[in-house]
Amino acid sequence: MSEMITFQRPDGKSCSGYYGAPDGNKTAPGVVLIQEWWGLNDQIKGMADDLIEAGYRVLVPDLYRGDVTLEQAEAQHKMEDLNFDDATNQDIRGAAAYLKTSSPQVAVMGFCMGGILTMLAAIHLSEEIQAAISWYGVPPEEGGDPSKISIPVQGHFGTADSFFPPEAVDALEEKLRASNVDYDFYRYEGAEHAFGNETGDSYDAAAKEKAWARSLAFLNEHIRLLNA
């Protein structure tokens, strides 16, 4: 059963989030799932429920504090107003700490804006998380140095993505490769940005199916088996 809960950030402030565990298993490995720029809506809750069904405890921190939008312009405005440093080092760090009270292995996984934050978490939260999966998210240069990542990272990108075009993904991959970061990047031919969101115009069912299967295999390798 999934529900809204409240957890503590490192600075002592509280944050709400959508939480669930498989069949009440409070020791299952955890995943901090990060929203797209729309907010904590029914679509990302559905993704969380799918992960719960796959055997993971999941917490989706509410980065917009209850706000949700369907309008792209408003979503972009909300994303631009979000303090990414605070979201990474307080909300996401706090969510990971909440999950780690019951299981030693935690991953971060996010989509679009959440993909950016996932990469930032991989850079800055290596002591709190064990793996990271970014769906179409490339971190800004000012966000930190990707070569410092010390945990396994997986990335999923569409070749027709106009938000994070192939050359941006290639540049990120080169930094990871040059620093011997443990990573796997997958590119989906013809897929656009947000190809995994079944409610959007860019949804690509075939690409989503492949990326989801690869994500579950990655989680199984890096947090479920280690948690056994």
d(CA 126, CA 150): 6
Q: Is the pTM of this model over 0.85?
A: yes
User: Residue 50 pLDDT more than 60?
Assistant: yes
The domains of the chain are located at: 3-227
Domain 3-227 has CATH 3.40.50.1820: yes
C-alpha distances out from residue 147 to 132, 144, 165, 178, 181, Å: 14, 9, 20, 8, 7
Query: Comparing C-alpha atoms, which of 90, 79, 91, 115 is closest to residue 194?
Result: 115
d(CA 112, CA 4): 22
pLDDT at residue 226, rounded to an integer: 60
Locate 60 and state its tokens: 């989706």
Place 179 in a pLDDT band, splitting at 50, 70 and 90.
very high
Per residue in 86-114, pLDDT tens? 999 999 999 999 999 998 899 999 999 99
pLDDT at residue 225, rounded to an integer: 65
